[in-house]
Amino acid sequence: MDVLSDVITVMRTGRPNAARVQWRGAWGRRFPAVPGAAGFQVILQGSCWLIPQEDDAVAAPVPLSAGDVVFFSQGHPYGLADSPATPLAVTNCDPAAEDLALFVRDSVGDSVGPDTPDVGEATTVTLCGGYRLDPRRAHPLLHDLPGLIHIPTRATSTTGDGTEAAADAKAELGAVVAILGREIAAPRPGTDAVVPALLDMLLLFILRTWFDGQLARGAATGWAAALADPAVSAALHAVHQDPARPWTVESLGREAGMSRAAFAARFTALVGQPPLAYLTWWRMTTAAQRLRDSDAGLAEIAARVGYSSEYAFGAAFKRVYGTAPGRYRRRSSPPG
């Protein structure tokens, strides 16, 4: 897989979740901070206002219209309302909860699903949801993202991105939003398999759209710049494609087409850590994901991430995670 796809695969745990909500009359809800989760709101119909809370970079209320996507990369608190003047009722909604649809139905009362008949005419329809993240090992890419990302998918001509790539990315995101909204509104055979895949696509297109926008504005730094840099992205791709290979700074420099010293400096400046430090980080992150999500033996996992013995792998894993691989697997397994 490519680097961004790899990142999405390993940075979340469990299945993503979403619920479709119809809002009627005057309404407002405050969504609390949820550590270890990234949430989103998609406006499927109508309009509303985003009310940033506490330390978010955007202090003023933000108008949202149909097609807009808002992503909360670090689970920051926020409010959503029909008007900035509407009081916000408190809700303890966890956007990544497995029972999100039931929670929304009980706490909001407006959830729309196959068992929930429409009552009256909705002025606004939203799709809320989220992704459960491993708070101990969040990918550094997430640290580069602002806490709040607002993507007005339909207003491509007024966002200042100014490039065909940025406009295309927003069009693609809009297509995913439309399909996802229809699938959740009217479940059909296969919906239980389709929706998680679409939610992963939604996350990918949110990140891709944000990266493209940063590049178009000449504001790309950190991982946005690293993925767009031919030399650094070539080295990252090599590491992700074959983490078991005995990479050195020199061999990664060759992949990048640069001298050892120049490559090390450039990689560190953009990625935020030296090449071999990132290699170790990625190996251990990949190993942790395999321990959580597969039944592969420790020897197999060790070999896949570049260790010739379980002992060497176990020692390296414990230095990073503070616990042995077997114990980590047991703690990460769902109860029952």
Could you tell me the two tokens for 119? 């009552």
Give the pLDDT means over successive 10-residue stretches in the chain (336 positions).
81 80 89 86 94 68 94 89 92 63 50 44 86 73 85 58 66 88 89 90 89 77 87 96 97 97 96 95 93 93 96 95 94 68
What pLDDT shows up at residue 106?
46
What pLDDT shows up at residue 109?
44
Alpha helices (H) in the chain, listed in sequence order? 3-11, 100-107, 140-144, 164-185, 191-216, 222-228, 230-241, 249-256, 260-271, 275-293, 298-304, 310-321, 325-332
Q: CA 96 to CA 94: how far, in whole Å? A: 5
Question: Residue 80 in 3-state DSSP?
Answer: strand
pTM greater than 0.75: yes
Q: CA 140 to CA 142: how far, in whole Å? A: 5
- Could you give the domains of the chain? 3-216 (2.60.120.10), 229-332 (1.10.10.60)
Which amino acid, one-letter code, is at 261? A
Nearest residue to 280 via CA among 144, 137, 143, 142:
137
SS (H, E, C) 183-220: HHHCCCCCHHHHHHHHHHHHHHHHHHHHHHHHHHCCCC
- Strand-by-strand arrangement of the 17-23 sheet: 17-23, 124-132, 37-45, 68-72, 148-152
Three-point CA angle 47, 74, 97, nearest 5°: 75
What pLDDT shows up at residue 5?
86
